């Protein structure tokens, strides 16, 4: 109660203000906008997740006499888990076939492995079908198809390529037959990688697509 009264009778020798009120407000706003003065009452989702992980880690290590785990350790674990998820998604997408088939049972999706470029695949087609090995026969037929497209310069770098890469080559170099080649590839992958049953009907479906591709990519049309 004395302070308001003191203003009327105490002699005050104060300097005149150096700034206008508007300038003072702008200066105060600029100072308070700095990071050190930014206090958040509500933690973000990342803050809450990092804090939760840190608390769980603290519970795990407490029996060993280790104190509480800092929140920043929880953030590191959170970011590591997020990176792992991104990597797994990338790896799984890289291994998906055109039809979303599961990974190959032999662990490889390479159509022509090194050393197989000298195999007599037309003879393998005849031999496999005569023995009733329809799955092997279909792979041999697909191998004959891509070899012919490579000879016509529709497909490049045949050895070590996946079926998806071969489809991409055909889409770029011969887009008018890309749909038929992709369909033939799906039939091949469904049997060879996906484990679908093979037989004369599947063979005929593949041959119909393959014939369309070869008929419309004659050597005369390849530039």
Position 118 scores a pLDDT of 75
Give residue-wise pLDDT tens across range 19-65.
666 676 677 667 766 665 565 556 677 667 767 776 776 776 666 66
Average the pLDDT over 173-194 and give the result.
93
Pick 175 or 59 by higher pLDDT: 175
Question: Mean pLDDT for the chain?
Answer: 75
pTM beyond cutoff 0.85: no
Give residue-wise pLDDT tens across range 81-121.
777 777 676 555 544 444 444 444 444 577 777 777 678 98
Do residues 140 and 205 make contact, with C-beta atoms less than 8 angstroms apart?
A: no
Do residues 132 and 198 make contact, with C-beta atoms less than 8 angstroms apart?
A: no
Pick 125 or 17 by higher pLDDT: 125
Average the pLDDT over 172-179 and give the result.
93
Average the pLDDT over 178-200 and give the result.
93
Instruction: Give the residue from 195, 100, 190 showing the smallest Cα distance to 142.
Output: 190
Do residues 146 and 121 make contact, with C-beta atoms less than 8 angstroms apart?
A: no
- Whole-Å CA distances, 124 to 1, 45, 78, 137, 184: 107, 60, 53, 7, 19
């Amino acid at each position: 109660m004395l302070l308001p009264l003191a203003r009327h009778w105490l002699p005050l020798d104060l300097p005149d203000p150096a700034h206008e009120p508007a300038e003072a407000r702008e200066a105060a706003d600029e100072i308070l906008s700095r990071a050190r003065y930014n206090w958040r009452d509500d933690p973000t989702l990342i803050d809450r997740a990092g804090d939760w992980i840190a608390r769980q880690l603290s519970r795990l290590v407490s029996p060993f006499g280790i104190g509480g785990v800092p929140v920043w350790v929880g953030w590191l674990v959170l970011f590591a888990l997020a990176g792992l998820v991104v990597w797994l998604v990338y790896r799984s997408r890289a291994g998906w076939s055109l039809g979303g088939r599961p990974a190959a049972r032999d662990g490889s999706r390479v159509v022509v492995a090194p050393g197989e470029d000298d195999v007599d695949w037309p003879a393998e087609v005849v031999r496999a079908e005569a023995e009733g090995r329809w799955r092997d026969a279909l792979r041999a037929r697909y191998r004959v198809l891509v070899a012919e497209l490579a000879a016509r310069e529709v497909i490049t770098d045949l050895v070590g390529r996946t079926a998806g890469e071969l489809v991409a080559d055909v889409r770029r170099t011969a887009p008018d037959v890309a749909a038929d080649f992709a369909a033939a590839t799906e039939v091949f992958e469904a049997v060879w990688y996906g484990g679908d049953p093979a037989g004369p009907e599947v063979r005929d479906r593949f041959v119909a697509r393959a014939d369309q591709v070869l008929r419309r990519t004659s050597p005369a049309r390849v530039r």
